[in-house]
Structure 1
Amino acid sequence: MTTYVYLRVSTDLQDVQNQRHGVLEYANQRGLSPLKFIEDNVTGKKPWRERALGQILENASEGDTLIVSEVSRLARSTLQVLEILQHCTESKINLHIAKNSMIFDNSLQSRITATVLGMAAEIEREFISSRTKEALAARKAAGVQLGRPKGKAEKLKLDEHRAKIQEYVNLGVSKAAIAKVIGCPATTLYDFCKVRKIKAKEKKKA
């Protein structure tokens, strides 16, 4: 059985150390060892399945344990937290929240709690969907055009790098290499060059 420790880190070094210290103290009290620490610097606003947390829960086996310092490290929204708790219970992964000494395991009480939380998550999803539909209907009734504007976008994401991209293209650098330098997917760069008609300038004959 593996005991994972998920630390969602920030630029505040003291915060990371506090998380680690709190988890270590909790694990020692509970006799949980050895610990496999996983650090993640992705914001908690990003869906949990797209973070290191999602990888942990996908790879974890039945009976494994996940420890976090506090519930806010799981996610920034109540809905995501509820989804994580439900996933852990259904996959029989033990979840420990150190700061609150909360344990979600395969016990009957935990399964009941997870079921209730799952219902709460479904209700919240319905509320979000309902509010979204109502807001869209209100905007449409007010004459607001919904969806992306028709036609080509006036300003593109890579416009600020246009001069540098043109310079690299003129030097014969491959678009794949330019994309790595700029820090964007190669497909994005190809599309940008196509829209902005960026190509190597012909060298003047001597």
Structure 2
Amino acid sequence: MPRYFGYLRVSSDDQTTENQRLGLLDYANSRRLVPIELVEDTASRAKSWRDRGLGALLEQASAGDVILSPEISRLGGSALQVLEFMAEAVKKGVTVHITKQGIVLDGSLQAEIMATVLGLVAQIERAFIKARTKEALQVAKLNGKKLGRPAGHAETLKLDPRADEIAGYLALGLSQAKIAARVGCSKATLSRFIERRGLKGKG
């Protein structure tokens, strides 16, 4: 017997899930995807889906279960995040419905096309980020800014291998929250790293 879950996410406590909830419930009822268990999440989309309520939801879901979300953007803050979530859902045999667009990602041809499109978007996104980061690093070096781990710090930190990448993101003006999501760590971990290594950027 499949279970049905509705995932509702807002970026802060100032927002409400009421409109999302009504539309999602109407969709579920019209397709008899009931009874449905609603999961509400207030975490920022910059945070990895694995570290939000969505990650816990997929973890408890089993093959044949269904997860409904109002919009595909509610699943992640980037195409890459959405693609990663969909890949894990497909691996577990969990069907995902995007209710506003009526999209059903269930291993069918439509789902494969959607996954391919998302994959292409993610590749383009990564290519643009890589190009902008490289340009920012070049500008920073021309301006005499020393990148990477400063000398005199013998202790190895988890993010040291990505120091130049983080420096590039900072040079681009990305917030720490967005950088943390891209390098796969918490904002607190990134903040400590930036402070320990003497890097500067937006909070």
Shorter-chain TM band: 0.5 to 0.7
Number of residues of Structure 1 aligned to a counterpart in Structure 2: 154
TM-fit CA distance, 1:43: 0.9
Distance in 1 between residues matched to 2:99 and 2:138, nearest whole Å = 44
Residue of structure 1 equivalent to 2:110: 109
Do the aligned residues in 2 keep the contact of 1:64 with 1:93 (CA within 8 Å)?
A: yes
TM-fit CA distance, 1:23: 0.9
Which has the larger Rg? Answer: 1
Distance in 2 between residues matched to 1:123 and 1:131, nearest whole Å = 12
TM-fit CA distance, 1:150: 6.0
TM-fit CA distance, 1:149: 5.7
Residue of structure 2 equivalent to 1:142: 143
Do the aligned residues in 2 keep the contact of 1:67 with 1:96 (CA within 8 Å)?
A: yes
What is the TM-score of this pair, normalised by structure 1?
0.63
Equivalent runs, 1:180-191 vs 2, <5 Å: none
Distance in 1 between residues matched to 2:91 and 2:133, nearest whole Å = 29
1:16 aligns with 2:11: no
Residue of structure 1 equivalent to 2:121: 120
Do the aligned residues in 2 keep the contact of 1:89 with 1:111 (CA within 8 Å)?
A: no
Secondary structure at the counterpart of residue 111 of structure 1: helix
Do the aligned residues in 2 keep the contact of 1:96 with 1:102 (CA within 8 Å)?
A: yes
TM-fit CA distance, 1:66: 0.8
Cα 1:54/1:25, change in 2 over 3 Å: same
Residue of structure 2 equivalent to 1:65: 66
Deviates more, 1:84-93 or 1:60-69: 84-93
Equivalent runs, 1:43-192 vs 2, <5 Å: 43-147=44-148
Letter aligned with residue 113 of structure 2: I
TM-fit CA distance, 1:95: 1.0
TM-fit CA distance, 1:55: 1.8
What is the TM-score of this pair, normalised by structure 2?
0.64
Structure 2 unaligned regions, length at least 5: 154-187, 193-203
TM-fit CA distance, 1:141: 2.5
Structure 1 unaligned regions, length at least 5: 153-183, 189-206
RMSD: 2.7
Do the aligned residues in 2 keep the contact of 1:83 with 1:121 (CA within 8 Å)?
A: no
Residue of structure 2 equivalent to 1:38: 39
Do the aligned residues in 1 keep the contact of 2:72 with 2:98 (CA within 8 Å)?
A: yes
Cα 1:138/1:58, change in 2 over 3 Å: farther
Distance in 2 between residues matched to 1:93 and 1:119, nearest whole Å = 22
Do the aligned residues in 2 keep the contact of 1:83 with 1:118 (CA within 8 Å)?
A: no
Distance in 2 between residues matched to 1:58 and 1:98, nearest whole Å = 21
Deviating beyond 3 angstroms after TM superposition, the runs of 4 or more aligned structure 1 residues are 147-152
